[in-house]
Amino acid sequence: MSSTAIAGGKQAVFDMDSLTLTVEEAPHPVAVPGGLIARVTLAGVCGSDVHRLVGHVKDAVGRVSFGHEAVGVIEELGDGLTSDWGGLPISVGDRVVWYAGSTPCGKCRGCRTTGEACDDRQWPSPSEEPNAAGYRDVASLSPLVPFFRVDGPVTDEEIVAFGCALPTAISGQRRLGQIEPGQTVVVQGAGPVGIAAAMVASLSPARNVIVIGAPAHRLELAREFGATSTINLDETTPEERLARVLELTDGRGADVVIEAAGVPEAFPEGVSLLARHGRYLLSGLYSGTREVLFNPVPITLKSARIIGNLGSKPESGLQALRFVQSNRERFPFARVVTHRYGLEGVADALGAMQDGSALKAVITPALRQA
Helices (H) and strands (E) in the chain, counts: 11, 17
State residue 55's pLDDT score.
Answer: 67
Rounded CA separation 258/77 (Å): 40
Which value, in Å, is the radius of gyration of the alpha carbons in the chain? 21
Tell me, what's the pLDDT at 3?
Answer: 44
70 in Cβ contact with 139 (< 8 Å)? yes
Q: Which amino acid is at 160?
A: V
Q: How far apart are the first and last CA of the chain?
A: 33
CA 230 to chain centre: 22
CA distance 207 to 205: 6
Question: Is the bond leading into 126 cis (omega within 30 degrees of zero)?
Answer: no
Angstrom distance (rounded) from CA 134 to CA 96:
12
215 CB-near residues (< 8 Å, 6+ apart): 232, 234
Question: So what's the pLDDT on residue 103?
Answer: 78
Is residue 2 pLDDT above 60, yes or no? no
Dist CA 226 CA 161 (whole Å): 16
| Residue 50 in this model has a pLDDT that exceeds 90 | no
Question: How far is Cα 364 from Cα 343, in angstroms, rounded to an integer?
Answer: 6
Using DSSP, state whether 135 is helix, strand or coil: coil
- Confidence band of 115 (pLDDT split at 50, 70, 90): low
What's the mean pLDDT in 348-358? 93
Lowest mean pLDDT among 29-43, 118-132, 320-334: 118-132
Q: Is 22 helix (H, G, I), strand (E, B) or coil?
A: strand
- DSSP per-residue codes, 187-236: EE--SHHHHHHHHHHHTTT-SEEEEEESSHHHHHHHHHTT-SEEEEGGG-
Segment 203-234, tens digit of pLDDT:
999 999 999 999 999 999 999 999 999 999 99
Domains present along the chain, CATH in parentheses: 3-161+337-363 (3.90.180.10), 166-308 (3.40.50.720)
d(CA 61, CA 58): 8
Percentage of the chain exceeding pLDDT 70: 95
In the predicted structure, residue 370 carries a pLDDT above the cut 60: no
Q: Taking phi first (over 0 means left), then psi (-120 to 50 degrees means alpha), and beta for anything else, what does residue 242 get? A: alpha
Eight-state DSSP code of residue 180:
P
- What does the pLDDT look like over 282-310, one tens digit per residue? 999 877 778 899 999 999 999 999 999 98
Report the alpha-carbon distance of residue 93 to residue 9 in Å, rounded: 19
Between the alpha carbon of residue 28 and those of residues 7, 131, 159, 324, 353, the distances in Å are: 6, 10, 27, 33, 30
3-class DSSP assignment, residue 21: strand
Instruction: Of 137, 96, 131, give the one whose Cα is nearest residue 7.
Output: 137
Q: How far apart are CA 133 and CA 11, in angstroms?
A: 9
SS3 124: coil
DSSP helix, strand, coil percent of the chain (3-state; round to 5)? 30, 25, 45
- Using pLDDT thresholds of 50, 70 and 90, give the confidence band for residue 49: confident
Cα–Cα distance between 141 and 70 in angstroms, integer?
A: 11
- What pTM was estimated for this model as a whole? 0.92
CB 266 within 8 A of CB 189: yes
Angstrom distance (rounded) from CA 268 to CA 182 = 25
Q: How far apart are CA 362 and CA 360, in angstroms?
A: 7
Q: Give CA–CA dist 28/122, Å, rounded.
A: 20
